[in-house]
Structure 1
Amino acid sequence: MLNIPKEKISKILVIKLRAIGDVLLSTVVLKNLRHNFPHVKIDFLTEPPSKEIIEGNPYVDELIIFEREKNSLKKFYELRKRKYDLVIDLFCNPRSALLTFITGAKYRVGYAFRGRSYAYNVKLKPRKEVHHNVEFNLDALRALGLEIIDKEIYMPIDENAENFAKKFWNENKLNEKVVVALNPSGTWETKRWRLEKFARLGDEIAKNFKAKILILWGNQNELEDAQKISSMMEIKPIIPPRTNLKQMASILKRCSFMISNDSAPMHIATAVGTPTLGIYGPTNPYAQGPYGEKHLWVRREDLDCIACNLTKCPIGNICMKELSVETVYSAFLKLVEKNKESTGFPF
């Protein structure tokens, strides 16, 4: 462990290029950095899709957007001109390693995966045991001898997003109602539970809890999936209008519960404090699950291939295809029981 001389640090850069959920999980380092370096400039570099995750974060002085298709020597030179003292690469792919190296910072922190060791002079070694991505990110600070005072991820929500969600809530008469959000999206096909099962689950919850069901979506394909789920449900759900990430966060903050595939909206729900049930198959919930004491996850524990991390399944994606509605509903009941005192609803 290196005890970094704090008095020699005046500018810090944190790099986490993508994806949206992973960038959100990396925000755990920011409050801790500010605690250890209360008077230094802290910047954050990410790609455009994650802009809203960092924009408005009180612990970040400047957000730098890196656009891959506009890579140029000029941009690299501009990054070097900023003269950072400490760069922490939490992405550690070949591109982020190069960016870290180019800064010329005195302290360059990163996981020295194959072919990237040259970029870092504070080389991190991943733990042998499986651990959550939040802890993976915090380990970078521990390696510098920094004090960890907080383990919360942070999603900033602005006034416009709050007004959007409040208007949506009022228009749909959702105040004082049990509202359960369902999120059928996922970046990999193998991470997605079947639409017809989401429909059956939604009906079961709507009937038994007199709940209003929201079906979340982001892009056009996800809107079509939401509409398919709606068409299969006996008790019609509510499909919100198009939202940006902050508006989605503000809507989720008002929900009683969230049930979601492993995805960015799932992590956003946990960040705003909504009790969340994650549905898992190829990814590992011990590393990428909903983070925090309020939340639970469910998966097929009987499969040897569970958490295979494959984007294409050679045996028919049975971890998701054969995960029953009854199993997920039973896990939801446990989530309700776990949070019945904090939710304020008489379940």
Structure 2
Amino acid sequence: MSLPSKIIVTRFSAMGDVAMVASVLKEFVQQYPAVMIIMVTRPAFKAFFEGIPNVQFHPFNPKEQHKGLKGIVNLKRELTSYGADAVADLHFNLRSRILAVLFKVSGLVVKQLDKGRKEKKALTRFQNKVLKPLKPTVERYADVFRDLGFKFILQNKLEPTKLALPNLAHALFSDDASRKIGIAPFAQHSYKVFPLPKMQEVIAFLSQNNFDTFIFGGGKLEQAQAEKWQALYPSVHSTIGRFNLKEELAIISNLDLMISMDSSGMHMASLMGVRCLSVWGATHPFAGFLGYGQSIEDCVQVEHPNRPNSIYGNKPCDCDGKEAIDLVSSEMIINKIKQLI
């Protein structure tokens, strides 16, 4: 059986997962340059795929023309026009599964993500926890292409991709003597967020030691916090609300190091080939969500028998009366920075 020449790839959310897909596709098209990819995800994530050869972006709008079952039928009709011969469902949620069924009925080869729910449940349960590294999510994505017949070998190595800085960022990089470090201190779930007073101690250290620090990620509340730090420390620069995603990626690509929670900031750093010091609380890198090309040696965490208690960090993780993320100290992060830079 011949290999597919044009593949529809679906991954609708979340931001970090879509960034991981982009890292995998960068390698895939290098190994199979004759294959065309139609990437289907939300319009906000288009910047992740710009510059990747043979990847054509198709927007998914779940609140507009692709809302509900009728919307998925509309999406299938739109995608049919590409003449693809296979579908790689890298999401395996309700919408992507319905879309997959529609394409199967049309005669396309469809392969879907194995999320490894059973082993993830064993990793996060309270009793008889099985604390062992699970298959990395990027390898699970690669497996879908392997199921389509490709001998796809994922190198999982950081490949620095320095992009041109946006015009507004040139002044922020004007000090050639300073080192440039990014911090993505926020996350969707509070149990993954390093306490902000402790993070301020890290930022104070960086300010006192010739770092230019760039704060990434978040909405209005996070922007207000980042601007407070910016007002306190002259070498701190908030990117929130000032740059779009494409511009943020360009800034990240010019950093010496990224610091991130278990969140999309880590995966954006991976996509740009930038080393990331990641901070883990209720979640754990063993669950498979460590950034592409990142090392577990660069993870800051405190082992406790109750960790991890969730895959996504959406539940509190009590560790002898302390939240798991509170076990991490600012000194631990500062010491790790000293080791890495």
**Structure 1 residues 291 and 212 mapped into 2: Cα distance closer, same or farther (>3 Å)?**
same
Aligned pairs for 1:47-58 within 5 A = 47-58=42-53
The answer as to 2:312 corresponding to 1:312 is no
Residue 196 (structure 1) aligns with: 197
Q: Secondary structure at the match of 1:222?
A: helix
Deviation at 1:130?
A: 0.6
Residue type of the alignment partner of 1:135: E
Asked whether the equivalents of residues 193 and 320 of structure 1 are also in contact (C-alpha less than 8 Å), the reply is yes
The answer as to 2:13 corresponding to 1:18 is yes
Residue 119 (structure 1) aligns with: none
Deviation at 1:302?
A: 2.7
CA deviations on 1:226-266 (whole Å, 9 max, x unpaired) are 134446x5666222361111211111122221111122222
Asked whether the equivalents of residues 113 and 141 of structure 2 are also in contact (C-alpha less than 8 Å), the reply is no
Deviation at 1:198?
A: 1.0
Deviation at 1:196?
A: 0.9
**Structure 1 residues 50 and 157 mapped into 2: Cα distance closer, same or farther (>3 Å)?**
farther
**Structure 1 residues 216 and 100 mapped into 2: Cα distance closer, same or farther (>3 Å)?**
same
2: distance between equivalents of 1:84 and 1:195? 48
Deviation at 1:317?
A: 6.7
TM-score of the superposed pair, with normalisation by structure 1: 0.78
1: distance between equivalents of 2:165 and 2:46? 20
**Structure 1 residues 221 and 173 mapped into 2: Cα distance closer, same or farther (>3 Å)?**
same
TM-score of the superposed pair, with normalisation by structure 2: 0.80
Residue type of the alignment partner of 1:238: H
Percent identity between the two aligned chains: 25
Asked whether the equivalents of residues 183 and 216 of structure 1 are also in contact (C-alpha less than 8 Å), the reply is yes
**Structure 1 residues 76 and 323 mapped into 2: Cα distance closer, same or farther (>3 Å)?**
same
The answer as to 2:34 corresponding to 1:45 is no
Asked whether the equivalents of residues 26 and 52 of structure 2 are also in contact (C-alpha less than 8 Å), the reply is no
Residue 76 (structure 2) aligns with: 76
1: distance between equivalents of 2:134 and 2:154? 21
Residue type of the alignment partner of 1:288: F
2: distance between equivalents of 1:236 and 1:129? 38
CA deviations on 1:32-59 (whole Å, 9 max, x unpaired) are 5435654343211112232221233213
* Structure 2 stretches lacking a partner, 5+ long: 117-131
Q: Secondary structure at the match of 2:88?
A: strand
Asked whether the equivalents of residues 54 and 63 of structure 1 are also in contact (C-alpha less than 8 Å), the reply is yes
Deviation at 1:137?
A: 1.0
Asked whether the equivalents of residues 160 and 253 of structure 2 are also in contact (C-alpha less than 8 Å), the reply is no
**Structure 1 residues 243 and 42 mapped into 2: Cα distance closer, same or farther (>3 Å)?**
same
**Structure 1 residues 258 and 244 mapped into 2: Cα distance closer, same or farther (>3 Å)?**
same
1: distance between equivalents of 2:30 and 2:211? 42
Q: Which moved more, 1:314-323 or 1:148-157?
A: 148-157
Asked whether the equivalents of residues 45 and 66 of structure 1 are also in contact (C-alpha less than 8 Å), the reply is yes
Aligned pairs for 1:20-35 within 5 A = 20-34=15-29
Asked whether the equivalents of residues 309 and 315 of structure 2 are also in contact (C-alpha less than 8 Å), the reply is no
Residue 168 (structure 1) aligns with: 169
Residue 339 (structure 1) aligns with: none
The answer as to 2:256 corresponding to 1:262 is no
**Structure 1 residues 293 and 263 mapped into 2: Cα distance closer, same or farther (>3 Å)?**
closer
2: distance between equivalents of 1:37 and 1:172? 37
Residue 238 (structure 1) aligns with: 237
Residue 221 (structure 1) aligns with: 221
Q: Which moved more, 1:70-79 or 1:88-97?
A: 70-79
Deviation at 1:29?
A: 3.8
**Structure 1 residues 184 and 34 mapped into 2: Cα distance closer, same or farther (>3 Å)?**
closer
Residue 57 (structure 2) aligns with: 63
**Structure 1 residues 99 and 182 mapped into 2: Cα distance closer, same or farther (>3 Å)?**
same
Q: 2:110 aligned to 82, 104, 108, which one? A: 108
Deviation at 1:293?
A: 5.1
Aligned pairs for 1:107-186 within 5 A = 107-111=109-113, 130-151=134-155, 162-164=164-166, 167-171=168-172, 173-186=174-187
Asked whether the equivalents of residues 23 and 270 of structure 2 are also in contact (C-alpha less than 8 Å), the reply is no
Asked whether the equivalents of residues 307 and 317 of structure 2 are also in contact (C-alpha less than 8 Å), the reply is no
Deviation at 1:329?
A: 1.8
Q: Secondary structure at the match of 1:311?
A: coil
Deviation at 1:225?
A: 2.1
Q: Secondary structure at the match of 1:277?
A: strand
**Structure 1 residues 50 and 178 mapped into 2: Cα distance closer, same or farther (>3 Å)?**
same
